[in-house]
Amino acid sequence: MSSPYISSHYLREALHHAQAPAKFIENEFARAGIDPAILENPDACLTDMQFVSIMLALMQHTGDEFLIAGGRRRSAYGNFALLCQALIHLPTLKKAILRGIVFYNRQLVDIRFRLRQSGERAEISMHWDHPAQDPLHVTTEAMLTVAHRLSSWLVDQRIPLIEAHFAYPAPAHVEHYHRLFHCPLRFNQQRNSLIFSARYLNYPLMQNPASLRTFLRTPANLFVPPTTSQQLTGQVRALLGKDFTREFPEFEDVAAMLALAPQTLRRRLKDEGSSFQGIKDQVRRDAAIYYLSRPILSITEIAELMGFSEPSTFHRAFKKWTGITPGEYRQGLHR
């Protein structure tokens, strides 16, 4: 879920970064239904789709998905879509992140990405050879945000960040960083990076070519700060894990891991329109759908991966979750 509004701050920065001419602004604002006066109001907001419309138009106008950062073209418009198509079939988030890093590190001569893992923490970092080429930090903010949003979309749940580090002092618009990253912020650090639990690296990718086409048609979630309304639901999903051959932890144990009283956890999940049983069903349903999209696995093998001792039990559960049998779902993928 995403917020329907974005601060005009990011619109002003993007237009300045791309050196958009007045005629472009006039035409694209009219097309997107944006009042030009928004550029003079620091407290103004625009809808997510209005923002995405301008961002895509800027990328097409500059021919660069980095909006000519530092006066140099870096990645042709459309390369991000090609990257997504290249990684959508990979088995885990770690492999997807590594492929994305190789993809961009081969294109970019002055920006380097890296994945580090130390114990239970993982870190995606971004290094500029010449940080002065990103004086407003527009590209740094955008690339770290996209890395987080894309990773979360690939595993079909918001990945909570432990910390976000930046190799520059806190900017004047630092309050926007809290909305972007929802985690403790550290400035004047050695590198620009996002730190999260390493367990997410082993999560399977839950998307498919059909969902990718939808995602690329409406990429608002790459730019829109996530709300916290589903944050607890995402944490519970993460604690349940992806190993379905073992029993899920009990509700009381999950509450203890979240440092919440069981009644508090139950109430807060209800406030999010969720429940513990519902989350368990969703996690297993999503994993089953993921496995069914992999034709190399038989339905019997999938039933075993899902922790069912008998394929018939898996059939009944899947039909309860989706309204159709696993075989019918798999047939529908190839129509």
176/279: higher pLDDT: 279
Residue 293 clears pLDDT 80, i.e. is over it? no
Q: How far is CA 152 from CA 147, 157, 161, 182, 184, in A?
A: 9, 5, 11, 14, 18
**Residue 273 pLDDT:** 75
CB 159 within 8 A of CB 148: yes
Span 11-21, pLDDT tens digits: 888 888 788 88
Which is higher by pLDDT, 7 or 119?
Answer: 119
How does pLDDT run across 297-321, given as a tens digit for each residue?
899 999 998 888 888 999 999 888 8
**Cβ-count burial of 169 within 10 angstroms (0-12 exposed, 13-18 middle, 19+ buried)?**
exposed
DSSP 170: P
On the question of pLDDT at 123 being above 90, the answer is yes
Indicate whether 5 pLDDT > 70.
Answer: no
Q: What is the pLDDT of residue 224?
A: 59
Distinct helix (H) and strand (E) counts, the chain = 15, 7
- In this predicted model, what pLDDT tens digit does every residue of 40-78 receive, in sequence order? 887 777 877 788 888 888 888 888 888 887 777 888 888
Residues 94-103 pLDDT 10s: 999 999 999 9
Whether the per-residue pLDDT at 81 is higher than 50: the answer is: yes
Q: What is the rounded end-to-end Cα distance, in angstroms, of the chain? A: 30
pLDDT-derived band at 178 (thresholds 50, 70, 90) equals confident
Entry pTM: 0.65
181 or 1, greater pLDDT = 181
**pLDDT band, residue 228 (cuts 50/70/90):** very low
Question: Across the chain, what does the average pLDDT equal?
Answer: 85
The pLDDT value recorded for residue 229 is 41
b/e per residue 10-26 (b: at least 16 CB within 10 A): bbbbbbebbebeeebbe
CA atoms of 302 and 208, how far apart (whole Å): 17
Phi, psi (rounded to 5 degrees) for 233: -60, -45
Per the CB < 8 A criterion, the answer to whether 252 and 262 are in contact is yes
- Per-residue pLDDT for 145 more than 60? yes
Measured CA to CA, the distance from residue 194 to residue 113 in angstroms comes to 11
SS3 308: coil
Confidence band of 227 (pLDDT split at 50, 70, 90): very low
Tell me which of 82 and 18 has the higher pLDDT: 82
pLDDT digits (tens, 9 = 90+) for 229-250: 456 787 788 788 777 878 888 9
Strand order across the beta sheet in which 192-197 lies: 111-118, 121-128, 192-197, 161-165, 185-186
Q: What is the pLDDT of residue 231?
A: 66
Predicted pLDDT of residue 173: 81
What is the rounded average pLDDT of the residues 202-223?
A: 79
Domain(s) labelled CATH 1.10.10.60 in the chain stretch across 229-333
Q: Which fold has domain 229-333?
A: Arc Repressor Mutant, subunit A (1.10.10)
Percent share of the chain, pLDDT over 70: 93
- Is pLDDT of 37 > 50? yes
What is the rounded distance in angstroms from the CA atom of residue 122 to the CA atom of residue 94?
10
